Amino acid sequence: MCQIRKRLQRNFMTNINQIAEVQFGLYKKKSKNGDTKYLTTGHFDNFLNPTLFDDSFIKITGKDTKFLLQPNDVILTGKGQRIFAWSYNESFGKVVPSSLFYIIRADATLIDSRYLAAVLNSERKRYELELLGVGSSITSIAKNDVLDFEIPLPSLEEQQKVIDVLDLLEEEIALTNQLLEKKKALKKGILNELITNKIKL
């Protein structure tokens, strides 16, 4: 494993099949009751976070446990109009992705799932992924294409630096959005005051 790690990091570029295992998500009918969250593409907001999750659950049986997301897993949409990746966080709880996703089980000794998701969500890589699905009315990426997909692989230390920068930008975006919402509320309040003649111009 050490030799593989050194070779991959020296070459800098690698294929996903060299740093992860890939499998399909689970197809199962969801309900409002169950012991496990069931993620679909509609649960993700414009910032690619599952903030839109609603009552979508399934009951896990023995054969389904292999679909449970684990630390350092990434899910990637393989079908649909929106291609994106998401790095699983244990704080989200017990979750299984639908069959519209691929589960990329990344080797934590080689790559950080947060870095992998960030790379796959980059404008260039999303464009390359979308090209793989061209040819049908609905974008559909073959498993072998995911396995052969090429990504940059710096050292784990360099990956962490990328993650730190992106986390900082995410915080700034969140603060900007909060400020924007407050300004929208202020604007709405002022308009209401003007309409009711409570403010004299």
Evaluate if residue 194 carries a pLDDT over 90: no
* Residue-level pLDDT at 6: 52
Count the helix, strand and coil residues of the chain and give each as a percent rounded to the nearest 5. 45, 20, 35
Evaluate if residue 154 carries a pLDDT over 50: yes
* Residue-level pLDDT at 196: 74
CA atoms within 13 A on the CB side of 31: 7
Evaluate if residue 8 carries a pLDDT over 70: no
Q: Which two tokens stand for residue 119?
A: 């790379």
CB 5 within 8 A of CB 109: yes
* Residue-level pLDDT at 188: 79
pTM (2 d.p.): 0.81
* Residue-level pLDDT at 93: 92
What's the mean pLDDT in 161-184? 84
Instruction: Note the pLDDT tens digit of each residue in 118-145.
Output: 999 999 999 999 999 876 677 889 999 9
Evaluate if residue 40 carries a pLDDT over 90: yes
Evaluate if residue 21 carries a pLDDT over 90: yes
3-state class (DSSP) for residue 99:
coil
What's the mean pLDDT in 103-131? 95
3-state class (DSSP) for residue 85:
strand
pLDDT cut 70: percent of the chain above it: 91
The region of weakest confidence among 5-9, 28-32, 182-186 is 5-9
